[in-house]
Chain A
C-alpha cells in the first residue's frame, strides 16, 4: 500500500466556512436575497389521482397583495424531468410545471405569487377547483400492468433505454447475471429465502427546499437555490420553461443539508416561472410539511433475496429481485434500483459461483421518490446483510466468521460490480479492527440483565461507489494570485460535507502552499467550470481528480512563464516545493514573480482548468457493530454502543470523514428504529412534521466510535475513495440482527418499532 508523507492531505483542518456558519452569518438562500421578493406558494391536490375539471381563480386574485395565480392552462406543454442526472437522463420525461392530471395527494394545482405570505395563503383558500376524482394505484405490488395508469399521457418519453413503459406503470426494468443461479441454488445445503421491505424515508435536512429568482442586469433569469446540482438545474429549467440555457444562471450559496434531496430540482421551476411571467424577484420556501408530502423521499422497496450456501457457511449464489416504488413521477427511479444489487452482491465475491439481479420500478399515486444518501444500496444492503446474518444464525456460525470466509478481498475481480477489480480493499482489516474495538466476543452473546432487559449485538458490512463511472464529469479551475495563493473554482456543491475544504487541501498539497492560501468558490453556472454536481459520493473522487489534474496543468503553465522570465528552455525547469526551480542550479522563481510576469506583457494565463471522468467507481467499504439493550416487555431498544471502521482509501480530512460517518450512522439508526412512513386517509404521508416523523435526538444514540483502515486507491486523488453515502448503510441490518438475537424474531421491514417488537413472536 502506497502511503505518502503528505502536508495538507490526511489533515483535519477546519472547514473553510466553519466560523461563518457557527457564528450565524447570513450565508443561506433566504439570508441573502431581496426583501421585496414576491412570496410564491403552491396549491396542492387533496386527491391521489384526479383530473382538474375546472379551476376558478377570479376571487382569489382579488385578495389585496396577490400579483398573479397560474394554473395548468398557463404553463408550457413540453414534458421534462427534475432528477439531477447527466443528459440524456434515465429518468422519464413525465412532468409539466402544472399538469391537469394530478397524480398524488400533494401534486401541484396552482402557483400563487403575492406580495406577502398572508396574502398568498388567503388566496390559496379562495381558489375553487373542481376535480374528477379517479381511483388511485396505491400498492406498489399491484402497480405493474394495473388497469389504472399513473401516466396515461401520449407524450410520456424516456430518452435512455432502461425498459420503462408508461402503459404498464413501469418506470424501468433491469437484469444482469453471472453463472447459473438456479443450478447452484438447487445444489446448496441451505437457501435463505426472504423478502425485505424498506420505506420512503425523508432526508429531513434542516433547511427545507427553497429557491429565489430574479432577472439580472442583463435580463437573464438568475436563480439562487439550495441545490446540489447547479448545472443540471440550469438544464432542467431550460427544458421546463422553454428558454435557452444561456438565458439562465444558477448559483448555490451555503446549503443547509441535502443528503440527496437537493439532487432533484424540487423547488426551482415554480419561482422561475413566476419571475419570467412577472419580471419580479420571488422566492419559494417549502414548509416542513411540504417537504414530507411533496418532497422526494427514498424509494420504498421490497427486495426478495435467495441466498444459497454450503453447511459450513460458504456463500455460493445470490438471487436478488427488487421491486421499487417510484411514486407519481420517475425521478431517479431507474438508477437507484440498480445500486440495490451492484452495491450488495459483490461484497460476497470470494466464493460466489453465480448471481442474478433483476428489478422493476413502478409508478404509484404516492409522493414521488428521489435521491437519498445510499441511493438503493441502503435498501439492498438491508436485504443481503440481513440474509447473511440469518444464514449465520441458522448454521450457528459466528456472523463475523462467515463474513471472513466470504467477503471480497483486495485484488479480486467482482463480476457483480461491472467486472471491476477491488484495487484498494481493506474490508478484511475493517472487520478485524471493528471486532477488536467493539469487543465482539463479549458483546455478541445474549446477556439477561435481570430486569426484563437483555443486551446483545449485531453486525453488518457495507460498500458503495465513488462516482458514476463512464458518465459523470467533475471540473476544476485553479488560478494563481499575486500573493502566491490560489483560487479554486468548482461546480461541485458543498452542502455541509466540507468538499470546498478538502478540495482546497488537494490544491495546497499539489501546489505546495498552505490551505489558508487557497480561496475556493462554488458553485455558479456562470463562473464555475462544468461539474455534474455533488452526488453519487463523487466529489472527493471525481472533482478531486479534476483538481489534481488542474494543478498539474497549472504547474506546467507556471514553468512556461518562468522559462520566458529566465530565457531558458522549459525542459530545464521543474515545479518543486511550491516554486519553479531550474534543474541543477540554485535558481528559483516564486509564484509571486510568475503572477506579476503573467500580468505584464504576457500571452500566457496563469490558470488551468481540467475535467475528469472515471472508467471505474472504486467502492469504499465499512463494518458496523451495534450493542443494544432491549426491554422485552415494552419492545424499546436502546443503542448502547455503535462502532464502525471505514475504508475510504486515504481520508483527505479525517475529522470531516469521521463526522460524515457519525452523521450517517445516526440517520441509519433513525430509519431503523423510529422514522416511519404511513399513509393517512388522504393518501399523504401521515408523518408530515417532526412531531410524527421522529429523527434521532442526541438522547437516541449510544456511544459512537468511528475509526479508519487506510487503503490506497490508485485511480483516486491522493489515494482517496468516497465517504458520503456508505456510512448510512450498516445500522439497518446490524440493529435488526441484534433485535433477532434479543427476541428470536427477524424483522424484515423497517422501521422496527417498540410495538412491533413487543407484539412479535418467534417464527418456529
Chain B
C-alpha cells in the first residue's frame, strides 16, 4: 500500500506492506537514531513525535502514520542541542543507546511543561528505561539546563 508521511519536514511517499512498523519505516528512511530495545512497548527507546506527540514507533503501524507528521531526533537537532550538553556535562550519556528516545521524550516534556519539578520530570520520563546511569545524572542535567534558563 502507498503511504505519505511528512518525515522531518520532508514528504515521503512509499509503498509498504501493511504490517510494517513505524520504527522500521523511519529507520529505512535514514532515521537511524530510532532504536529498538524490546518487543513489548516497555523501553521507550523508539520514541518519535507523531503530530507533535510522543509515540512508541514500535507500536505504531507505518500505515497508521499515513497523512501524518513524524519527527525523529534527526529532525530536532537544534531543539535537542539546547539541553543535551548539560546531560553530557554529567557524563550521563553513558552507552547512549537509550539517549534518542529519552531526548525525544524530554523535548516533548519541555514543550508541554517548560518548568517541570523533579517529580514531574521523573513521572513524564518513567517510560524511558536506561540501564547505565541510574537516572540521577540525566535528572541533574535537565535540572541544570532549567536553572541555566532562569539565570
Contacts and interface: CB of A to CB of B under 8 A. Distances in A.
Q: How many interface residues does chain B have, given as a range?
A: 35 or more
A22 B141 CA distance: 12
Interface string B74-109: 100100110011011111111111111001000000
Interface of B is mostly: loop
A288 B89 contact: no
A695 B91 contact: no
Contacts of A135: none
Interface centre among B34, B74, B94, B103 (most CB of A within 10 A): B94
Contacts of A70: none
A236 interface: no
A21 interface: yes
Interface string A559-603: 000000000000000000000000000000000000000000000
B73 interface: yes
Interface stretch (A11-19, A77-85, A179-187, A750-758): A11-19
B96 A287 contact: no
Contacts, number: 175
B123 A12 contact: no
B49 interface: no
Interface string A11-52: 010110111111111111011000100000000000000000
A435 to B, nearest CB: 21
B94 A659 contact: yes
Interface string A51-84: 0000000000000000000000000000000000
Interface residues of A, number: 57
Contacts of A206: 35, 37, 43, 45, 95, 97-98, 129-132
Nearest to A705: B136
Contacts of B123: 699
A256 B136 contact: no
A559 B103 CA distance: 48
Interface string B39-57: 1101101000000000000
Nearest to B90: A655
Nearest to B95: A496
A689 B38 CA distance: 7
Contact of B89 (A14, A20, A496): A14
A698 B135 contact: yes
Interface string B129-143: 111111111110000
A667 B134 CA distance: 8
Given A257-B131, A664-B134, A498 B91 contact: yes
A699 B38 CA distance: 20
Given A205-B131, A259-B131, A287-B39, A15 B91 contact: yes
A289 B38 CA distance: 8
18 contacts: A20-B96, A22-B88, A25-B33, A256-B35, A288-B37, A496-B95, A655-B90, A658-B91, A659-B134, A659-B137, A662-B133, A662-B134, A663-B133, A665-B134, A690-B43, A690-B129, A697-B127, A698-B135
Interface of A: 12, 14-15, 17-28, 30-31, 35, 203-208, 254-259, 287-289, 495-498, 653, 655-656, 658-659, 662-667, 689-691, 695, 697-699, 701, 704
Given A495-B95, A698-B138, 15 more contacts: A14-B85, A15-B88, A19-B84, A24-B33, A206-B129, A256-B97, A288-B37, A288-B38, A659-B133, A663-B132, A664-B134, A697-B135, A698-B125, A698-B135, A701-B136
